[in-house]
């Protein structure tokens, strides 16, 4: 089954919370607890996940994409503003910047497969407003260096934590270090509601604006007199109570999910040490989610030969998460015809990020908890794999590497 760890541990607890909502028939996120059966699952999730991750405020949303848009809108990023984002990420990190009529500026990654802080400053112009580090594959970005650059140049930091719910960097949860964090709860993520997401921040004004953007400009939880009291034009990205019911349970399962993934990854990784011609991506902090193990070969030829035998593909050729494979943005002469990029003279070409290309041609993802062909991780183990199964996968990988 393709999916993330949360989807593999979906069970009786989620069903019970869902039945509460179904039996009450109160599916909308707003209501008075105890009146007409209203349960307040979305609000409960927001409170609990905020406490768990260390946010002062959380807004639940309908997707990670929506969460990124709430962050960008809350920070007032708009027409012609530039946002620096890595070229190895899901298209949503890039497209949400475009949907604000702002301009994505693609940055190189390093061998952690996250944005390379040493390459950021060269991309800063007078139009730069923000950096969007993406905690790819559950690996926290090098946030110390990123925050230092942001401070020096007076830039906002929006953490894309969609692939890293629960990851931490130097003891702080991803999403609590920059100005705002955006999270996804889609089926491939650490915890899931099928589709869904949330935004976290410690700033009450940003929270109010993010909340307003996700709900037609309303103040948090639609409190107070609304007419005459709205500060932002918004849309509808609300989470409903059915998703909220699942989110509450999945949030409570998060610590166990992370513990299990870290144990299983350690078991697999320990058996793949000291193989000739292959190591691992750099993990920036042991607080990573451990959703994936990434093999990093010395040469792209060796990586390709491994993939041919293992029935998988190098990350460069795995699909959606590589800028070279994003035909929506590539090889346009200008953005004049390609709304919403029309304000920018910037263009995007294949192979414009040579360091990223080199790393991704040598990198192969093995699933630990996220089983997703689109990430190049269609094979490996999952959160429910037994020790015997893990040992067998390790043996197969070893044998293939040793045969190259
Ligand atoms: C890095 C990253 N950003 C944003 C998103 C968008 O999340 P969603 O699918 O919930 O809209 C994803 C989802 O795959 C992602 O991996």
Q: Please choose from 7, 83, 92, 214 the residue to mutate so as to test ligand 1's pocket, defined by most ligand atoms within 8 A of CB.
A: 92
pLDDT at 224: 66
Q: Are strands 82-86 and 128-131 parallel, antiparallel or unpaired?
A: parallel
Write down the mean pLDDT value for the chain. Answer: 94
Strand order, beta sheet including 278-280? 278-280, 292-297, 363-367
What is the torsional sign of CA 62, 68, 74, 76? negative
Distance in angstroms (rounded) separating the CA atoms of residues 382 and 304:
24
Instruction: Determine whether the shortest distance from the Cβ of 365 to ligand 1 is under 6 A.
Output: no
Rounded to the nearest angstrom, the distance between the alpha carbon of 66 and the centre of ligand 1 is 9
Please give the distance of CA 283 from its chain centroid, rounded to a whole number: 16
205's CB contacts (< 8 A; 6+ apart) are: none
Instruction: Determine whether the shortest distance from the Cβ of 133 to ligand 1 is under 6 A.
Output: no
| Ramachandran area for residue 264 (φ above 0: left; ψ -120 to 50: alpha; else beta) | alpha
What is the torsional sign of CA 252, 184, 168, 394? positive
Record the pTM: 0.97
Do the beta carbons of residue 298 and residue 282 sit within 8 Å?
Answer: no
Backbone angles phi, psi at 310, to 5 degrees: -90, -5
Return the H-helix or E-strand segment holding 18: helix 12-24
What is the torsional sign of CA 131, 375, 253, 242? positive
pLDDT at 198: 98
Distance in angstroms (rounded) separating the CA atoms of residues 210 and 72:
9
Q: What is the pLDDT of residues 195-242, one digit of tens each?
A: 999 999 999 999 999 999 999 999 888 876 567 777 789 999 999 999
Rounded to the nearest angstrom, the distance between the alpha carbon of 115 and the centre of ligand 1 is 16
Give the mean model confidence (pLDDT) for residues 295-322. Answer: 95
Instruction: Determine whether the shortest distance from the Cβ of 96 to ligand 1 is under 6 A.
Output: no
Instruction: Determine whether the shortest distance from the Cβ of 95 to ligand 1 is under 6 A.
Output: no
Residue 341 clears pLDDT 60, i.e. is over it: no
pLDDT at 336: 45
Collapsing DSSP to helix, strand or coil, 362 comes out as helix
Is the peptide bond between 340 and the residue preceding it cis, with omega within 30 degrees of 0?
Answer: yes
Give the mean model confidence (pLDDT) for residues 355-373. Answer: 96
Residue 39 clears pLDDT 60, i.e. is over it: yes
Do the beta carbons of residue 376 and residue 312 sit within 8 Å?
Answer: yes
Instruction: Determine whether the shortest distance from the Cβ of 197 to ligand 1 is under 6 A.
Output: yes
Structure tokens at 192: 């899931």
What domains are defined for the chain? 5-251 (3.40.640.10), 255-403 (3.90.1150.10)
Residue 344 clears pLDDT 70, i.e. is over it: no
Rounded to the nearest angstrom, the distance between the alpha carbon of 144 and the centre of ligand 1 is 24
Residue 5 clears pLDDT 90, i.e. is over it: yes
Residue 34 clears pLDDT 60, i.e. is over it: yes
- Long-range pairs for 339-348: beta carbons < 8 A, 24 or more residues apart: 340/98, 340/99, 340/100, 340/101, 341/98, 341/103, 342/101, 343/79, 343/80, 343/101, 343/103, 344/80, 344/103, 346/103, 346/105, 348/106, 348/323
Collapsing DSSP to helix, strand or coil, 271 comes out as coil
pLDDT at 190: 98
Nearest to 209 by CA among 61, 72, 45, 62: 72
DSSP 8-class letter at 363: E
pLDDT at 378: 84
Give the mean model confidence (pLDDT) for residues 104-113. Answer: 97
Rounded to the nearest angstrom, the distance between the alpha carbon of 154 and the centre of ligand 1 is 27
Backbone angles phi, psi at 344, to 5 degrees: -115, 140
Ligand 1 nearest atom to the CA of residue 136, by list position:
1
Instruction: Determine whether the shortest distance from the Cβ of 134 to ligand 1 is under 6 A.
Output: yes
């Amino acid at each position: 089954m393709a999916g993330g760890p949360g989807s593999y541990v979906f069970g009786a607890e989620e069903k019970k919370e869902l039945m509460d909502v179904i039996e009450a028939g109160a599916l909308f996120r707003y209501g008075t607890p105890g009146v007409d059966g209203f349960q307040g699952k979305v609000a409960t999730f927001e409170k609990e996940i905020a406490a768990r991750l260390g946010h002062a405020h959380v807004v639940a949303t309908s997707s990670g994409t929506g969460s990124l848009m709430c962050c960008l809108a809350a920070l007032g990023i708009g027409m012609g503003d530039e946002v620096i984002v890595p070229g190895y990420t899901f298209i949503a990190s890039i497209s949400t910047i475009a949907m604000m009529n702002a301009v994505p500026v693609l940055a190189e990654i390093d061998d952690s497969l996250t944005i390379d802080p040493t390459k950021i400053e060269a991309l800063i112009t007078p139009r730069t407003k923000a950096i969007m580090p993406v905690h790819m594959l559950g690996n926290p970005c090098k946030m110390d260096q990123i925050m230092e650059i942001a401070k020096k140049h007076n830039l906002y930091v929006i953490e894309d934590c969609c692939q890293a719910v629960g990851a931490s960097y130097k003891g702080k949860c991803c999403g609590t270090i920059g100005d705002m964090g955006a999270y996804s709860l889609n089926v491939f993520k650490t915890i899931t509601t099928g589709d869904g997401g949330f935004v976290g921040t410690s700033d009450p004004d940003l929270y109010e604006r993010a909340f307003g953007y996700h709900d037609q400009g309303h103040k948090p939880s639609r409190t107070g007199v609304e007419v005459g009291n709205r500060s932002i034009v918004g849309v509808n990205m609300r989470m409903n109570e059915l998703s909220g019911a699942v989110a509450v349970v999945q949030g409570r399962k998060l610590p166990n999910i992370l513990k299990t993934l870290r144990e299983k990854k350690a078991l697999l990784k320990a058996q793949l040490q000291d193989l000739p011609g292959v190591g691992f991506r750099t993990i920036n902090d042991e607080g990573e989610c451990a959703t994936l193990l990434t093999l990093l070969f010395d040469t792209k030829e060796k990586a390709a030969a491994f993939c041919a035998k293992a029935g998988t593909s190098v990350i460069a050729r795995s699909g959606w998460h590589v800028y070279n494979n994003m035909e929506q943005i590539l090889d346009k002469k200008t953005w004049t015809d390609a709304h919403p990029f029309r304000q920018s003279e910037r263009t995007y070409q294949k192979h414009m990020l040579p360091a990223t290309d080199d790393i991704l041609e040598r990198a192969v993802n093995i699933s630990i908890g996220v089983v997703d062909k689109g990430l190049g991780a269609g094979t490996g183990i999952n959160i429910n794999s037994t020790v015997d199964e893990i040992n067998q996968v390790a043996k197969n990988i070893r044998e293939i590497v040793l045969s190259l």
